[in-house]
């Protein structure tokens, strides 16, 4: 079917180029090592793409734009579906590469970096075929047209899914793309691009530039021929991207941090719910922007809740992320593990009571990146562990006395990306959800990956704009009205 296997071993070992532009591999630039966080060994290198290389990538995307934007929505949907088929066929290699790059356990990598991206591609293809490309409004023809050349800047924590969420919608809209993946996870991006090209996407329509945010990311987001920048990352990074893009009035979509609450209402089945909100908060070892790291729980059941939290943590299995029994792997880097440990020390200093877990650095193999989960209680709402996105296995319990207080606690955050509400009464849960200041609310355990057309994005410091489905496609279009 495909020669994607020729690109390297499942771990992507080898030298990654500074850029992939049309049919060219550009290997210039300072080398950047890529470290497997479990083995603590270098699995390869990528290279920094400087301003001149970024210029080449954007120029190729500009040249490819007229032809690609004139293709029919049906043809673009066909390319997306063919790409999904290739990811299905070769996804084991892509998932294994992600595991090697950043330590995601194989089971999660398969589900979120292989199965989910293929699902998003097919859902985006369906949305493109149903999209209102042309409407009549008050006698005028209102058309949605391709927005231009898109810069996609993606993170390391869910690398393939984040790439697909951006580029699938951009290609469906008729845009061309220059992608800057995280320098920590460059090899999976090359495999994804290969799938798109083998599916029929013109090579010039999809370039990759590798490198760091301050150099490559800055050059890309400030480029005058970029018309839209879609960024996922930290609040600080998002502000820098928005400022750079503003120089040329490029539009931006920013999916930033989160401090998501899981609101468990008093009538919920605690025995069933508590393990599930723990799992949601600790998914990918807490390295998820929508992880439920704030557990908003009924004070009347505190004793039972804390017992259940301890029991749930005892079931977790830490170890080699390639082992099938491993539920939680290392954090993505030693530097990140150190930052998480510093947050834990600060939470203890701020008077946090340890409900369960240790928050200690774990010695597993040669890795310096394992941190045991910890759940804190009794922290003031102003404490950093309550306010800041830690991006690790650190959860806080916030008790409430009535539902009104639960809503108030849940909304007391600078972030507004996601939330969960749990109740035996679904209608009551939905009613509570309408009061939460977030971009997406999941009721009784619905998972984002089960709904690949539902818009995803945040408010407040979690950013603006949306990904997925028809709303995600609309992000990358411009409106043209013809009045006759």
Q: How far apart are CA 369 and CA 333, in angstroms?
A: 6
Please, what is the angle between helix 159-172 and helix 187-198, to 10°?
30
Q: In angstroms, what CA-CA distances link 44 with 181, 352, 376?
A: 15, 41, 38
Asked if 416 contacts 394 with a C-beta cutoff of 8 angstroms, the reply is: no
The DSSP element (H or E) to which 227 belongs, if any, is: none
Instruction: For residue 344, give every residue at least 6 positions away whose Cβ sits within 8 Å of its Cβ, in sequence order, or none.
Output: 359, 371, 374, 394
Burial 287-298 (b: 16+ CB within 10 A, else e): bbbbbbbbbbbb
User: Which tokens go with 217?
Assistant: 């990311």
User: Which tokens go with 65?
Assistant: 């734009």
Q: How far apart are CA 12 and CA 153, in angstroms?
A: 20
Asked if 165 contacts 467 with a C-beta cutoff of 8 angstroms, the reply is: yes
Instruction: For residue 413, give every residue at least 6 positions away whose Cβ sits within 8 Å of its Cβ, in sequence order, or none.
Output: 259, 261, 294, 387, 460
User: Which tokens go with 288?
Assistant: 């998820």
Residues in the chain: 484
Asked if 160 contacts 192 with a C-beta cutoff of 8 angstroms, the reply is: yes
Question: Which of the residues are catalytic?
Answer: 255
User: Which tokens go with 119?
Assistant: 């699902």
Indicate the pairing of strand 459-460 with strand 415-416.
antiparallel
Q: How far apart are CA 60 and CA 207, in angstroms?
A: 8
- Taking alpha carbons only, the member of 167, 164, 180 closest to residue 219 is 180
CA 172 to chain centre: 20
């Amino acid at each position: 079917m495909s020669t994607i296997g020729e690109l390297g071993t499942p771990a992507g070992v080898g030298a990654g180029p500074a850029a992939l532009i049309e049919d060219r591999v550009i290997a210039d630039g300072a080398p950047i090592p890529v470290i497997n966080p479990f083995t603590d060994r270098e699995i390869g290198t990528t290279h920094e793409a400087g301003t001149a290389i970024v210029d080449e990538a954007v120029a190729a995307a500009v040249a490819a734009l007229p032809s690609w934007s004139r293709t029919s929505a049906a043809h673009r949907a066909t390319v997306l579906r063919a790409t999904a088929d290739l990811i299905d066929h070769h996804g084991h290699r892509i998932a294994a590469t992600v595991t090697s790059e950043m330590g995601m356990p194989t089971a999660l990598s398969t589900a979120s970096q292989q199965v989910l991206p293929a699902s998003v591609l097919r859902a985006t293809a369906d949305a493109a075929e149903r999209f209102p490309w042309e409407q009549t409004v008050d006698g005028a023809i209102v058309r949605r047209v391709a927005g231009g050349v898109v810069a996609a800047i993606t993170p390391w924590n869910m690398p393939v899914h984040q790439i697909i969420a951006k580029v699938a919608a951009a290609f469906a809209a008729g845009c061309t793309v220059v992608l800057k993946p995280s320098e920590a996870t460059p090899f999976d991006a090359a495999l994804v691009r290969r799938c798109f090209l083998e599916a029929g996407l013109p090579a010039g329509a999809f370039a990759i530039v590798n490198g760091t945010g301050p150099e490559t990311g800055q050059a890309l987001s400030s480029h005058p021929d970029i018309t839209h920048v879609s960024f996922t990352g930290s609040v600080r990074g998002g502000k820098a991207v928005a400022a750079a893009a503003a120089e040329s009035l490029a539009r931006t979509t920013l999916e930033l941090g989160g401090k998501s609450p899981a609101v468990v209402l008093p009538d919920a089945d605690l025995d069933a719910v508590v393990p599930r909100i723990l799992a949601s908060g600790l998914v990918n070892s807490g390295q998820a922007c929508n992880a439920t790291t704030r557990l908003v729980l009924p004070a009347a059941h505190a004793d039972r809740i804390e017992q259940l939290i301890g029991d749930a943590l005892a079931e977790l299995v830490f170890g080699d992320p390639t082992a099938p029994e491993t539920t939680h792997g290392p954090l993505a880097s030693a530097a990140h593990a150190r930052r998480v440990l510093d947050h834990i020390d600060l939470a203890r200093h701020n008077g946090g009571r340890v409900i369960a877990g240790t928050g200690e650095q774990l010695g597993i193999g040669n890795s310096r990146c394992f941190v045991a989960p910890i759940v804190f209680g009794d922290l003031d709402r102003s404490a950093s562990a309550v306010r800041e996105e830690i991006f690790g296995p650190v959860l806080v319990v916030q008790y409430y006395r009535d539902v009104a207080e639960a809503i108030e606690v849940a909304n007391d955050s600078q972030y507004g990306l996601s939330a969960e509400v749990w109740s035996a009464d679904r209608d009551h849960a939905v009613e509570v959800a309408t009061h939460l200041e977030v971009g997406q609310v999941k009721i009784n355990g619905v998972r984002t990956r089960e709904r690949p057309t539902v818009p995803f994005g945040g408010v407040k410091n979690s950013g603006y704009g949306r990904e997925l489905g028809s709303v995600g496609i609309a992000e990358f279009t411009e409106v043209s009205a013809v009045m006759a």
